[in-house]
Amino acid sequence: MDHFPGTWGRPRNDVYGAYDPSYLQSTGPKTHTTSPAVTGTSVVGVKFNGGVALATDNLASYGSLARFTDTKRLRVFGDQAVVGFGGDVSDMQYLDRLLESIDIRENYSSHGNMLNAKNLHTYLAKVFYKRRSEFNPLWNHVLVAGFDGEGKPFLSSADLLGTTFSAPHLATGFGAHLAVPILRRLFPEEKPIEEISREEAVDALKQCLKVLFYRDARSLDKYSIAVITKEGIDLKEDEQLEGQSWAFAERIKGYGAQTV
Amino acid sequence: MTSIGTGYDLSNSVFSPDGRNFQVEYAVKAVENGGTAIGIRCKDGVVLAVEKIISSKLLKPGANKRIATVDRHVGIVSAGLVPDGRHFVSRARDEASSWRATYKGPIPTSALANRLGGYVQAYTLYSSVRPFGVTSIVGGWDSEAELAVDGQVGSGPKSGAGGKVDGAKAGGPGLYMIEPSGLYWGYYGAATGKGRQAAKAELEKLDLSSGKLSLLEGVKEAARIIYVAHEDSKDKEFELEMSWISSLDGPTKGRHEEVPKDILEEAEKAARRALDEDEEEEDKGAGEQMEE
């Protein structure tokens, strides 16, 4: 008879080796919040004369598996703001519901939702900062697009640490490396946003998404694009990247079964 | 009220020997003094209207709303003690948001009415509280389209097992009235407050159960009925407040909103005209009788 209840029901030490009691520890840091699970990749945004354009692809990856291919990562808030989400998809869903509850509360008053994109960005950044300070971060990097209090186009980012950053064009994730240089070439700093047309902005986003699809292994050629102007939000969620050319791929060396 | 002075009305939750709760009945009296409130359930939406007696010239016209929005698709109007009505609305909003937290979708109007009925009824059970001094009309539109779950990001595979019934009819207008006892019924047309008798008589003439009345006609009728119900307290000035909830393809897209100013003014003009015509006919009738 084994008189030590702590060892009952456990694999026998003489067969399986001594049990590692560290697995039973209930103290120590919580670690399950320290990595995302199902993720979306880049978000790209550009300000233009009279508005902002924002785009993401429609993929949610589970690690390297392309798990969901019809994911809507651009979320509309009120009638003048859009949030583009990169990072963990379930955290995005949580934030989407949070924003929905705020929109419902805003509409209790008869003037309707008065929060603009700038207010929304400030709020989201504070939510991110609070959660990272609790060591329980929301694993996202978002772009908020719309208008500020003076009615000027607004585009700004907030990340899982609560860091905020603003620029006439922005990209998160892989896009920060691959799309921003393209956007800087197309829209140099000297060029005021008043000289950028809606068509130019949309074309630039498509070009960025195409390059991202070529080079980012967690991306997709199906995408969503939102154009926010004073007239409202034009959101398309089932777009296909046109005019792909994979000719460059032949020249890529150093991967797979190549011997040279 | 022969039972006054017998002592059975001094505490809430106490029955009298003939099975009445006097505190609840007194609460109903408080409601009967409030401005008339009505609701009409139309085929493509719901209208709510209330007569706001102007108690002071210093009150800003158009401010001090009496119809409140709950979630996006429900409106509540109350007759009786205004602060009680506000607390009731606040509870309704909490219920709607807790429903969303659990089920990730909007609360059906019927479920909201049920929860509010339960809440009001609880205030008839304890001696430490008094019943609500309001009768509230809850109007809502339950989406007829299949709604995405809150936060849903995709629609899943287009083929495979579904389990959905094709062509099943869902959603539509809902109208409920909750009384101080916690009693609530669903209605085609509901009226409460001072002018409820006149308003009910007018509502009955509309043949609402046939489901033919359109929302726009409903708005006109609601305005007219509030004007008719006001006839008995003509010496007091009042302001008409109206809100509506249409179907998804209607003017409010399933949301509860104030009736736009131009439509409201037009409905008020039509209401005044209808009243004048009625008076003229009465005068004429009286004149003819005199001649005989």
pLDDT tens, A127-177? 999 999 998 999 999 999 999 999 999 999 999 999 999 999 999 999 999
User: Residues in chain A, how many?
Assistant: 260
Task: Return the beta strands (E) in chain A as ranges.
Answer: 38-40, 43-48, 51-57, 60-62, 65-68, 74-77, 81-88, 140-147, 153-158, 164-166, 169-171, 222-229, 232-240
What is the share, in percent, of chain B residues with pLDDT greater than 90? 80
A204 and A182 Cβ atoms separated by less than 8 Å: yes
Single pTM value for the model: 0.88
Interface check B43 vs A, CB under 8 A: no
Sequence-distant (≥ 6) Cβ neighbours of residue B243 within 8 angstroms: B47, B48, B49, B67, B69, B75, B77, B256, B257, B258, B259
Report how far residue B120's alpha carbon sits from residue B49's, in angstroms, rounded to the nearest whole number: 22
pLDDT at residue B292 in the model: 44
Q: How many CB pairs lie under 8 A apart between chains A and B?
A: 43
Question: How large is the ipTM?
Answer: 0.89
Nearest to A71 among B68, B100, B153 (CB): B153
Q: How confident is the model at residue A19 (pLDDT cuts 50, 70, 90)?
A: confident
Q: How confident is the model at residue A116 (pLDDT cuts 50, 70, 90)?
A: very high
pLDDT at residue B287 in the model: 58
Task: Kindly identify which residue of chain A lies nearest to residue B89, measuring between CA atoms.
Answer: A108
Interface check B100 vs A, CB under 8 A: yes
Nearest to B153 among A89, A101, A107 (CB): A89
Mean pLDDT of B128-156: 91
Query: pLDDT, tens digit, for every residue of B222-246?
Result: 999 999 999 999 999 999 999 999 9
Q: How confident is the model at residue B60 (pLDDT cuts 50, 70, 90)?
A: very high
Contacts of A104 in chain B (CB under 8 A): 71-72, 97
Inter-helix orientation angle A89-106/A117-133, to 10°: 130
Q: How confident is the model at residue A194 (pLDDT cuts 50, 70, 90)?
A: very high
Query: pLDDT, tens digit, for every residue of B25-52?
Result: 999 999 999 999 999 999 999 999 999 9
Query: pLDDT, tens digit, for every residue of B63-109?
Result: 999 999 999 999 999 999 999 999 999 999 999 999 999 999 999 99
Mutation target to probe the B interface, by most B beta carbons within 10 A, among A67, A71, A91, A97 is: A97
Mean pLDDT of B253-264: 96
Mean pLDDT of the residues in chain B: 92
pLDDT at residue B146 in the model: 79
Q: Do A70 and B104 touch (CB under 8 A)?
A: no
Contacts of B64 in chain A (CB under 8 A): none
pLDDT at residue B51 in the model: 97
Q: Do A104 and B155 touch (CB under 8 A)?
A: no
Mutation target to probe the A interface, by most A beta carbons within 10 A, among B153, B243, B253 is: B153
Q: Do A107 and B150 touch (CB under 8 A)?
A: no
